[in-house]
Every structure is written in structure tokens, then in C-alpha cells.
Amino acid sequence: MPKFEYAPAPESRAIVRIEKSYGLFIDGAFTRPKATFPTINPADETVLAEVSQAGPKDVDKAVAAARRAYEGVWGRMSGAERGKYLFRIARILQERAREFAVLETLDNGKPIKETRDVDVPIAAAHFFYHAGWADKLEYAGLSASGADVPRPHGVVGQVIPWNFPLLMLAWKIAPALATGNTVVLKPAETTPLTALLFAEVCQQADLPAGVVNIVTGDGRTGQALVEHPDVDKIAFTGSTEVGKAIARSIAGTSKKATLELGGKAANIVFDDAPIDQAVEGIIGGIFFNQGQVCCAGSRLLVQENVHDQVVAKLKRRLATLRVGDPMDKNSDLGAINSKAQLDRITSLVEAGVAEGAERWSPECALPAKGYWFPPTVLTGVSQTHRVATEEIFGPVLSVLTFRTPQEAVAKANNTAYGLSAGVWTEKGSRILWMADQLRAGVVWANTFNRFDPTSPFGGYKESGYGREGGRHGLEAYVTTAPATLTGAVR
Amino acid sequence: MTRLDVRKTYKLYIGGAFPRSESGRTYEVVSAKGEFLANAAMGSRKDVRDAVVAARGALAKWSGATAYNRGQVLYRVAEVLEGRRAQFIEEVAASEGLTPRAAGASVDAAIDRVVWYAGWTDKIAQVLGNLNPVAGPFFNVSAPEPTGVVGVLAPQTSSLLGLVSVVAPVIAAGNTAVVVTSASRPLPAVTFSEVLATSDVPGGVVNIVTAQTAEVATWLAAHRDVNAVDLTGVAGADGVDWAALEREAAGNLKRVLRPVLSDGVPVEPDWTADPGLTRIRAFVETKTVWHPKGL
Amino acid sequence: MVTVSTTTRTAQDLTAQARDVLGVSRLTNHALTSWLHGLPGVDQVGCEARAAALGTRSVKTTSKAWAIDTAIGMIDLTTLEGSDTVGKVRSLCAKALVPDALDPRTPRPAAICVYGDMVATAKAALGDSGIHVAAVATAFPSGRASMAVKLADTRDAVEAGADEIDMVIDRGAFLSGDYLTVFNQIAEVKQACGAAHLKVIMETGELVTYDNVRRASYLSMLAGGDFIKTSTGKVQPAATLPVTLIMLEAVRDWRELTGVQVGVKPAGGIKTTKDAIKYLVMVSEVAGDDWLSPEWFRFGASSLLNDLILQRQKLTTGAYSGADYVTID
């Protein structure tokens, strides 16, 4: 038993008021709740609230509201005024940060220290960053030629995942609004609450009705939104499977899409790496948000001559991770978001063991109720194992080895995905060579899982297309060329 | 007595070589007036497959070449085109039914377009790249990289200007290309492949397949080792459903450059207009690299 | 009563042991350079991020009470002023003996840390309380004196009864790459310490980089230091969490390499309970609970004690305390 036990340090949930049931947020107001389904706290399986399942007619209304707002107000407003609304939203998010953090943790299951220190502050930062762009778009270098002000698409349909509910909302809504589009957003079925609280922020900011509409529901709602004929552009973050379905469904139309999909990132550790920081990077890379991160460093590629040392340090460090009550300020890992996700993780890990991988987890007592999976390391993994190729989306690290930089690159790139990669070495020229070779949209060298509103994020290959964040992220929300002349990028 | 001219056999251009179609098929190409011009190779799905293999093989070296080098090579293409100006005017005039004067203007525009793109190679990263001021002690830079192997359906109408307008941006950005030519006007494209072969463009960087668009386009759009497709050539192509091609492309989430639509129907763009950066943007990926700054 | 494990070592023993660790037949500066520069590098940003993350642990109620008492017991209560007098040292010793007159259960600090000429005074004042007397030596704080003077300084303090010697390394030699000189000086001082416990002050504020801190830590351990210590308190920055993180990783890895456990002492600038608890969290999560005792971890501090006592009073009485309820030394 350790000498230094931390007593429970739970964050208070009194700060947030959760309604019994929620309607949809359409045209600036909440509808009456109907066809509701429960959203639960994955840490203890209690029902937090009932939310409404939006049907095709609701989606129609939301899209119509967004269209009216686009044509009547938002599309005509000066960039400077749009920007001021976004600044307001950023400030309100900062003011109500703790409330959002608590609600996110309750609905998602991720530790309060992550929602408090990562999700919510970066969400606010996204609004702040994009607010400044609203009246400077002609300087963004997005025009086909000359100095035209890029034009918005119109109504944007956005479908976001459950792993970073508020942050993904910010990634989607902030650039859409800054560029003059209006939005219908569907949060994930299992994590709708912060999006509904965000609707309240829009009201507090006096955002014109219909500029942001939030429709809750399951995949059917998302499909209705994606397929709606009056939606001009789709922005989706989620699985590659659904991403492909969206790409098919908009084929042959003039609907645009950006897709931010799965990943199977390699985190490559050379023998001259700053080893203690590399271990932290590996841990943060795969156990941040219980590994439910599309850019998670789920494949550790470690140079063979330091494999044993790195794995030993990794295991020792893993033993200090605290798994438990997400509301406890000392929890490093919280709950898995849903039963379905837990089942998927469990079955993939079992498949890995069946294929010959060796499974290791530190001793940790998991709560009896809720959806929990211990931090897990699989050693002896080969490139052909399912756990090395399929996205697990859980706290599971597969360890592989390599001998030369070329082999590391070959293995890292040997995947249908291409979202992110990590490189750890003290040799500068090798970092730059590796960064050139890796087919991934984000390369973290001697760091991992860093995010910033100014930094574009998005993948190569089956990890999707388009970028979010930075100057590049604006591109997806504007028409960059007179379409009649030179063609249009999907 | 007039000398009997030596005619050219029009073949495919794959991996720097000029093979016949593996299928052994040819088809008759006629002029705009309907006169016989040549028997062109009728490329098959297997020719497309071979072309993809060649393009993939050439990618590492071409994408890894310096932008300066790519610019020089593209400029060399323009030089060699210029040297064959008369030949192209004749072929374009015959294919497109233009007066020699109009064909000359089109060929000149094609040469100038290649020069324009030659100058772009070492500006793309500067114009599309960024140093990002992240809120922390990190160096953070975003730069465009070539998407990879690009399948190009070349325009049906503009046999040379249109062709170079779609091929040049793809390779200027460092991609390699598999080009399906205009089905009915393929001959300038074949001659263009001779230009490529003699102007330091490494074999496999551009592969040119003369074919019936409808027959091979689906294979190209569905090919898992193709990273992007340019659907410009669906406009006016017989029997091609571009929506179906885009659906096929979704199989591995290819980047798709859609055709220009007029009232929902694909039309060929105005090739004399300023091309802008759309075609370069369509075939680059932004890679963002982070590194800490510390002692 | 603080126990410290000290083995009497001659400089020759230490050199022989160092040859073994390095796997060389002769201990040369070249051999030391290769070894020290072969250690894994430290990425500053990653290291500082880790230290900051550990600093966000929330330590409440019972664990806070435990941490406060543990921290008090780890203090080397220090006065190192040119203006120190017998009276000042006696007063400090009295404070150590009775840290909180309102609560006799309050633990005592581990040691009193003074200049060599005050050792006898401190020793007499502390009697058989079990509180150690630590003396700074070797031309503290600059270390700029001949080796003969440094050794005489050390012997003088030991003869006066010092239980522990806090020496400074020759930072000039270290920064100029003369690792062998640094090694020899530590080893000779260690020999001069006899049974006294040797803490090696690296003055990390002058070493500047974390790579240097890691190398100096390994060099100090190799040369026989029983403790590695951040700072004299006379140079800014003094102790910081990231520097201590590097040192804790070093002692952890050193024990794995050699089987020998070495202690860590951050000194200077640690003034609040909140700070002290961050250090304890770091000790626990980085080196492990084996280091969570005065035998293996110390705070070099003066004002820290009273802040810990204030917080301790808050926990025992339930009301926030004030400066008038703790005695100044």
C-alpha cells in the first residue's frame, strides 16, 4: 500500500443545473421535449436527463431556421459584427467554464481535470481565435485569385462525436460562424448535454435566432441532416465507416464535406529519445481521455534496443495512474463513454490476446457500476494483428518494435489511416526527416496530443479530408473560387 | 513524286515507356470533320492498373525532389512543347476542328500555362503553408504535401490546353498522375506524352491512357491505391455517371475534384480563364508538425 | 529521531566503485564525459509539463494532514546568514524543539542547518532531541576555495559534531567539462565526512539546463553523495519542481542501476504548504513511497515551517489561523 493516499477530492456538481428533459434548440428557442431518450452518466449508469430524438421534420425546421437566419441576418452581417458575437460566446464559455467542465464530465465520463484543463479552455480559445477572423477573411489567402472576400456556403450541417463533445462543437461552430455560415449541429447520442447548455450560451450572447440550431438524436437524426437537400456543407467528425457513408451520400451533388475520421497513430521512440518525457508522451498519447481519441498514439513503435527499458518505465508509470470517479480531481482515467464502446474495446483486446499479444494492466480497482476498462499494454504485437490495424478507441496500447528509421516509417505508414504520428529522438535532422516521411496530418515530435486553435488538424488517406483550426480550417467553410470557372473541391 | 509520309503509331504512355494496350485493342480516331486520323490504343482497366503501379512507383522520388527541380522540369516541358508548336497546332486543329489561328492560340495558351505552373512549384508551400502561433512553447508549422497518386479524367473537348491545365497542377504539387485522355480527341495527349518523355519528367510521373472514359473511369475511381481523382473529364463523356464515380471514390476516401456544374450538369471549364489555385489546393495535404522549444 | 544510513567511504573506494559502474579500468575525465553525456536527454517542455501536471493533484483532509506532518518532519530548518549569532541559532533550535507551542503533537523538523561555526551551539541547544545538525561546508555558497580549505571546513564541522554536511560542487569545473575534478572533490569531502551524512549541493540555478542537472546528479551519486540537493538558497532560481523531478528520476534510476538509494533535498524558495505538498506528490509518484521519509527526502527551508503549522492548526481547529498564533524563531 502506498504511504501517500489521496483522500477523495470530488468536484462539486452543485454548480450545474440539469433539466429533467430537453427539447431541441431551433430558431433561438427550445422546443417541447418529445420522443425522448435518456442520457446517462457512464461512470455510474445513472440517468442524467431525457433528451429529444429529432425526426426528419425537426431537422427540416432546423435547416429552414438556419436558412432564414443565413439569408436574413447572418449572411448579410458585417464580419466585424459577427466577430463580436463570437467574442461574446468565448467570454461566456470562460465565465461558465466550471459549469461546462462538470457537465461534460458527468455526461461523458472523462476526468474533471481534463474537461477543466483541456476541453473547456480550448473550446473557448477556438471561439476567441475565430472571432478575430470574421472581419479579416480577405487576408486569409483563400481567394482563387485577386482579393475577393471569400463567400460562405450557407447552411452547414455538423455532426460531432462523443469523445470531446463541447470541444468538437467549438471546432465546428466557431469557424462556420466566423465565415458567415449558419449551423445545424447534431451532438452525439450519448453526450448531448453540453451542446444543449451551449444553446443557452447562444441565448445569453443574443445570437440571432436560427444562426445556431442544435438537434439531438441518434444516427438517424445525423443521416437526416446529412441528406437534407437544403444543407450546403457537411462537417463530420466520427468513424471512418460513417465518413464513407457520408461521402457516398453527397456524391454527385454540390454539397461540400469535411470529414475528420479515425486513426491508428504510431508513436515512434528512438533509442536516443528523452526517455522520461517520451514515457509521458506515450502515456498521454494513449490514456488521455481513456484513449477515446482519434489521434491517440495507439501503436507504440519502439526501437528494439530500448524496448525492454521503455516498457519497464512505461509499466512503472502506468502503476501510478489513478482510475476512478471522473469527478475526483485526482482521477487520471475516467469511465468509458458507453456500454457499446466498452464491449468493442473488450472484444478487440481479447482478439489481440488470442492472436498472441501479451496483455498487462496495473493493479487497479475499478468501480462496480459504470463502464470501466483498465489501462492496458499489449506487448509482442505484430503489424498483422487486429490490435495493430484496427482503431480500438480505448485505453489500450499496442507495442511493436523496429530496428531502423526506414523500418519505423514503413510500419508507421502501413495503415489505411493517416491522422497523426509521434516521433521521439534528440537528433534534430532525424526529426525533420521522419516528419517528411510520415503520412499523417499532424506530426508531434518530442511531444504528443497537443491542440491549438491556430494549428490545423486533420488527416491523410482514410482519416478523412479537410483541416480544422488555423487558417487552413477556414477553407472548408468558404467558397474559394468562382465555381463556374475552375471546378470545385468536394 | 511526293514522298509517302511515315505515320506514327499512337500508343499508351506508362512508366516512361510507350506500350500498346495489354488488351490489344485499338479504336479509330477521326478529326472534327470525321476524317480518319489514326488508330489509337484502346486502354483497358488493366492498363489503368499498370499505370497506377507506375505512378505509385514514381511518387517517392518525384514528391521528394526539390520544388526547384520540379519547376525546372516543368519549364523544360514548356520548352519542348514550344519546339513542337507546329505539330501541336496541326493536331489540335484536326482534333478540335479549329482554324490554324485558333489552334495556335490554344497551343500558345497551353505552353504558357505550363510555364505558369512551373513557376508555382516553389511557391506552393510558401503560399499555402503557415507558421502557427500556438499558445505554448512549441514550434508549429503547417505545410502542403502532395496527396499522392492522382487519377485524372482529362477534358473531352480541349485536347491540349485542357489537358495541360489538369495535368500540370497535379505534378507541380509533387503528385504523380494517371491520366485518362479525351476519348474522342486523344492524339494531342499522345504527342504530349512524347514531350514528357523527352523533357526530364521521370518515367511514371505522368501516365497517359487513351481509352473510352466510361470503360475505365470506374476502375480508376475505385482503385484503392489512388489517393485522389479529378473528374473534370466527365463533362461530355459518353455514358459516365459522375455521381457513381464519386461514390466509388468514397471507398478509400479519395479526394475528389468535382466537375464544374451548370444547372446540375457537368460542363467543361473555360480553359482560357485564370486557373487560380483550386487545382493545386485540391491535391495537397496539409501536414502540421509540432516541436517543443526549450533549452 | 531521524535515522540516516551513512557508510564511511574513502576516496579510493569511491573511485574504484565508479570504475565499476562505468566499466572502465581508469577513471578519466574522458570516461566520465562519455558516461554523463550518454545519459538520456531531457526535453525541457515535457519535463515542465509533467511537473506542472503533478502540481495539480488535489490533496485534501486526511491526506493533507498526513502530508503536513510528513513535510514538517522533513525540514532542514535553516539559517545561513552573515548576521547569524549564537542567539539566533539557539532561538531556531528552540523552535525546532517546540514547533507549535499550542500543539505538542506537532512533529519536529529533521535537522537544523547552519554554518560550520554554529554547529557546536546548535548541538548544545538540541541535546539528545534526535534533531540533527547539518552544516554547510566547502566554502559555501560559492565553493571558490582551495581543496585544502574545503576539506578543513568539512573536518571542522564534523569535529564540532555535525551529523550532516551540505557541500557545494565546483560549478565552474562542472560547466567547463572538468567532471573529474568535481568527482574527486566530492569523493574527498565524503571521506572527510567520516560518519557524517553528505549532501551534495549542485546549485542547479547555475547549471541552467535540465541536461546539466541530470548529469550533475549522476556525478554526485557516483562520487558518494548520500543526498543530492538543489541549491544553496543564495542563487535564483533555487529549488523548482521540474529540477526536483529530474533529481527524483535520477535517484530512482540510480537505485535500479546500482542498488544504492540516494536522498533528495530541494532547498530555497519553498515557502508554502501548497508548494511542499506538490513536492511530496512528486516524490510519491516519481521516485516512489520509499523516498517519503526524512531519511530520503528533505526540504531546505526556513519560513516553510510556520506555514505548515498554520495549515496544521486550520485542520485541527477547523478555523483559519493567523500569524499571531505561530511563533517566529
Is B293 near chain C, with CB under 8 Å? yes
| Structural domain includes residue A159 | yes
Q: What is the pLDDT of residues C102-159, one digit of tens each?
A: 999 999 999 999 999 999 999 999 999 999 999 999 999 999 999 999 999 999 999 9
Q: How confident is the model at residue C75 (pLDDT cuts 50, 70, 90)?
A: very high
**What is d(CA C168, CA A109) in angstroms, rounded to the nearest whole number?**
50
**What is d(CA C106, CA C126) in angstroms, rounded to the nearest whole number?**
17
Q: Looking at the predicted structure, is the pLDDT value of residue A140 above 60?
A: yes
**Is C234 marked active-site?**
no
Q: In what order do the strands lie in the sheet with B284-292?
A: A358-360, A376-379, A396-402, A299-303, A266-269, A420-424, A442-445, B284-292, B138-146, B130-131
Tell me the β-bridge partners of C208. Answer: none
pLDDT at A2: 54
| Structural domain includes residue C2 | no
| Structural domain includes residue C48 | yes
Residues 6+ apart with CB under 8 A from B266: B231, B234, B235, B236, B242, B259, B260
Residues of C whose CB is below 8 A from B136: 45
Q: Are residues A89 and A183 in the same domain?
A: yes
Cβ distance of B288 and A252 shorter than 8 Å: no
Is C85 near chain B, with CB under 8 Å? no
Q: How confident is the model at residue C5 (pLDDT cuts 50, 70, 90)?
A: low
Region at C233 (left for phi over 0; alpha for psi -120 to 50; beta for the rest): left
Q: Are residues A124 and A245 in the same domain?
A: yes
Q: What is the pLDDT of residues C304-316, one digit of tens each?
A: 999 999 999 999 9
| Structural domain includes residue A7 | no
Distance from the Cα of C298 to chain B's closest Cα (Å) equals 28
Question: For residue A249, what are the domain limits?
Answer: 21-261+464-486
Residues of A with CB under 8 A from a CB of C: 2-9, 113, 117, 272-277, 280-281, 320, 329-330, 426, 446-447
Q: Are residues A442 and A468 in the same domain?
A: no
- Show the domains of chain B with their CATH numbers: 26-292 (3.40.605.10)
Look at chain C and count its residues: 329
| Structural domain includes residue A213 | yes
**What is d(CA A284, CA C310) in angstroms, rounded to the nearest whole number?**
37
- B touches which chains (3+ CB pairs under 8 A)? A, C
Q: What is the pLDDT of residues C143-181, one digit of tens each?
A: 999 999 999 999 999 999 999 999 999 999 999 999 999
**CA nearest to C253, candidates A255, A137, A275:** A275
Cβ distance of A454 and B288 shorter than 8 Å: no
Q: What is the pLDDT of residues C227-278, one digit of tens each?
A: 999 999 999 999 999 999 999 999 999 999 999 999 999 999 999 999 999 9
Q: Are residues A255 and A296 in the same domain?
A: no
Residues of A whose CB is below 8 A from B257: 487-490
| Structural domain includes residue A12 | no
Average pLDDT of the residues of chain C: 96
Region at A25 (left for phi over 0; alpha for psi -120 to 50; beta for the rest): beta
Percent of chain A clearing pLDDT 90 (strictly above): 94
Q: How confident is the model at residue C48 (pLDDT cuts 50, 70, 90)?
A: very high
- Beta carbons within 10 angstroms of residue A86's beta carbon: 25
| Structural domain includes residue C4 | no
Q: Are residues A304 and A219 in the same domain?
A: no
Say what the pTM is.
0.96
CATH number of the domain that residue C85 is part of: 3.20.20.70
Cβ distance of C45 and B295 shorter than 8 Å: no
pLDDT at A144: 65
**Is C199 marked active-site?**
no
| Structural domain includes residue A200 | yes
Distance from the Cα of B70 to chain A's closest Cα (Å) equals 17
| Structural domain includes residue C1 | no
Maximal C-alpha separation, chain C: 64
**What is d(CA B82, CA C292) in angstroms, rounded to the nearest whole number?**
81
Q: How confident is the model at residue A486 (pLDDT cuts 50, 70, 90)?
A: very low
Q: Per residue of chain B (295 residues), what is the pLDDT tens digit?
A: 789 999 999 999 999 999 999 999 999 999 999 999 999 999 999 999 999 999 999 999 999 999 999 999 999 999 999 999 999 999 999 999 999 999 999 999 999 999 999 999 999 999 999 999 999 999 999 999 999 999 999 999 999 999 999 999 999 999 999 999 999 999 999 999 999 999 999 999 999 999 999 999 999 999 999 999 999 999 999 999 999 999 999 999 999 999 999 999 999 999 999 999 999 999 999 999 999 999 9
Distance from the Cα of B287 to chain C's closest Cα (Å) equals 22
Q: What total number of domains does chain C contain?
A: 1
3-state secondary structure chain C: CCCCCCCCCCHHHHHHHHHHHHCCCCCCHHHHHHHHHCCCCCCHHHHHHHHHHHCCCCCCHHHHHHHHHHHHHCEEEECCCCCCCHHHHHHHHHHHHCCCCCCCCCCCCCEEEEEHHHHHHHHHHHCCCCCEEEEECCCCCCCCCCHHHHHHHHHHHHHCCCCEEEEECCHHHHHCCCHHHHHHHHHHHHHHHCCCEEEEECCHHHHCCHHHHHHHHHHHHHCCCCEEECCCCCCCCCCCHHHHHHHHHHHHHHHHHHCCCCEEECECCCCCHHHHHHHHHHHHHHHCHHHCCCCCECEEECCHHHHHHHHHHHHHHCCCCCHHHCCCC
Q: Are residues A324 and A188 in the same domain?
A: no
Is C44 near chain B, with CB under 8 Å? yes
Q: What total number of domains does chain A contain?
A: 2
| Structural domain includes residue C90 | yes
Task: Read off the pLDDT of each residue in A432-446 and give the average, rounded to a whole number.
Answer: 98
Question: For residue C288, what are the domain limits?
Answer: 11-325
Q: How far is CA A361 from the centre of its chain?
A: 26
pLDDT at A484: 43
CATH number of the domain that residue A326 is part of: 3.40.309.10
Residues of A whose CB is below 8 A from B125: none
Distance from the Cα of C44 to chain B's closest Cα (Å) equals 5
| Structural domain includes residue A253 | yes
**CA nearest to A332, candidates A289, A273, A380:** A289
| Structural domain includes residue C3 | no
Cβ distance of B137 and C45 shorter than 8 Å: yes
pLDDT at A146: 56
Angle, alpha carbons B65-B71-B77 (nearest 5°): 110
Q: Are residues A297 and A393 in the same domain?
A: yes
Is C250 near chain A, with CB under 8 Å? no
Q: Are residues A366 and A413 in the same domain?
A: yes
Q: Are residues A119 and A145 in the same domain?
A: yes
ipTM of the complex: 0.96
Average pLDDT of the residues of chain A: 95
**CA nearest to C168, candidates C194, C134, C144:** C144
Distance from the Cα of B260 to chain A's closest Cα (Å) equals 4
- Beta carbons within 10 angstroms of residue C20's beta carbon: 10
Is B137 near chain C, with CB under 8 Å? yes
Q: CB contacts < 8 Å between B and C, how many?
A: 17
3-state secondary structure A263-325: CCCEEEECCCCCHHHHHHHHHHHHHHHHHCCCCCCCEEEEEHHHHHHHHHHHHHHHCCCCECC
Is B149 near chain A, with CB under 8 Å? no
| Structural domain includes residue C84 | yes
Q: Are residues A212 and A344 in the same domain?
A: no
